[in-house]
Amino acid sequence: MQAFQYANPTSLKDALPLLAGEWGQADVLAGGTDLLALMKDYIHTPPRVISITHIKELAGIHQNADGLRIGALVTLEELIENPLVRAEYPALVTAAQGVASPQIRNLGTVGGDLCQRPRCWYFRNGFGLLAQDKDGRSLVPNGENQYHAILGNRGPAYFVSASSLGPPLIALGAKVRLASAAGSRELDAAQFFVSPARPGDREIALKPNEILTEIVVPAARGRNATCEIRQKQSLDWPLATASVALDLKDGAVAAARIVLGHVAPVPWLADKAGDYLRSKPLNEATTTEAAKLALADATPLSQNAYKITLAQAAVRRALLEARGKA
């Protein structure tokens, strides 16, 4: 690992001036489950690392007038064990439980999950975020691509978003709050994830001089659920996920948000499927049709067409799970 400066501020006010104006000059350390691995592999070699683990204002889960406030330093295990989250936001609990390693759940943070880098093996082996050769051509379409994107892959990005919590937070209409020395701003969770267009871009809207401070989830309405499909239930990354949030009235769907995970460079909002379900009952026929519509725009690569079937199954199971809870 390359030598670096280490800062350990105890307040957000002290931490923010330590950040840099461009990526690569400073990195934020929370649980470290992703950053330290990247540093050991020389994917990231920041001259300065800023630990935020002792900034108390970034911790805790609290209910307020805006909904549920989740501090960026809340661990996945804290999220799972919180009684209010378990009662009102099962989609979040299931997604966090999908991180099957107790060590990672107890160290990894909510903010870190949203900010983690892609698990793409090209990126992790030093080929860059867009995995391009010296002539600017992607290595993915004609290479090993069985775990890559089937949606949103008509641009230069083929990796899939690694965030477990991104899909349920988007389905639930959450917002993320970001702070810099110049002030703070708030984004819809869906706007936080972006598909990069150039090799130097990032896959999130966070700027190099900002820290993600908290996530605000609106008061739960209706029911929500997450379904993940993976090769094995031990420590492994999902092949496809679906998170849904439903408003039900008189046995029919008043509103539905369906978000797919691990199938696109960003968590993928399936608007067509949600629109189709409006005013319809949830049954085998309607959930099957919604699942088909959710993947209608898929453009699989040479080795990952199987993801269409898996993602459709995840949508159906998540919808039926949410219906059952109703």
Alpha helices in 16-116 (DSSP H): 35-40, 76-81, 83-88, 90-97, 102-107, 110-115
In this prediction, what percent of the chain has a pLDDT beyond 70? 98
Whether residue 215 contacts residue 204, with contact meaning beta carbons closer than 8 Å, is answered with no
Confidence bin at 181 (pLDDT 50/70/90) = very high
Whether residue 272 contacts residue 294, with contact meaning beta carbons closer than 8 Å, is answered with yes
Higher pLDDT, 233 or 166: 166
Q: How far is CA 214 from the centre of its chain?
A: 14
Two tokens, residue 22? 């461009």
CA of 66: how far to CAs of 25, 78, 83, in Å? Answer: 35, 20, 18
Q: How far is CA 17 from the centre of its chain?
A: 27
CA of 253: how far to CAs of 78, 89, 193, 208, in Å? Answer: 32, 18, 28, 41
Task: Provide CB contacts within 8 A for 315, sequence distance 6+.
Answer: 227, 242, 244, 258, 260, 270, 273, 287, 290, 291, 294, 295
Mean pLDDT of 252-264: 97
| 3 state SS of 143 | coil
Mean pLDDT of 273-297: 97
Q: 7-37 burial, b for 16+ CB within 10 Å, e for fewer?
A: bebeebeebbebbeeebeebbbbbbbbbbee
DSSP 178-231: EEETTEEEEEEHHHHB---SSTT--SBS--TTEEEEEEEEPPP-SEEEEEEE-S
Q: What pLDDT, on the 0 to 100 scale, is given for residue 221?
A: 84
Two tokens, residue 182? 């110049």
Q: What pLDDT, on the 0 to 100 scale, is given for residue 326?
A: 44
- Supply the pTM of this predicted model: 0.96
Confidence bin at 232 (pLDDT 50/70/90) = confident
Confidence bin at 231 (pLDDT 50/70/90) = confident
Residues belonging to the chain: 326
Q: What pLDDT, on the 0 to 100 scale, is given for residue 101?
A: 85
In the chain the domains, ranked by start, together with CATH numbers, are: 5-53 (3.30.43), 58-116+164-217 (3.30.465.10), 223-325 (3.30.390.50)
Position 261 pLDDT exceeds 90: yes
Confidence bin at 163 (pLDDT 50/70/90) = very high
Please tell me what DSSP assigns to residue 116.
P
Q: What pLDDT, on the 0 to 100 scale, is given for residue 234?
A: 67
> E strand or H helix at 280, and its extent?
none
In this prediction, what percent of the chain has a pLDDT beyond 90? 90
Confidence bin at 310 (pLDDT 50/70/90) = very high
Q: What pLDDT, on the 0 to 100 scale, is given for residue 109?
A: 97
Mean pLDDT of 26-48: 94
Residues 311-324 have pLDDT tens digits of: 999 999 999 999 98
Position 85 pLDDT exceeds 90: yes
Mean pLDDT of the chain: 95
Residues 23-34 have pLDDT tens digits of: 999 999 999 999
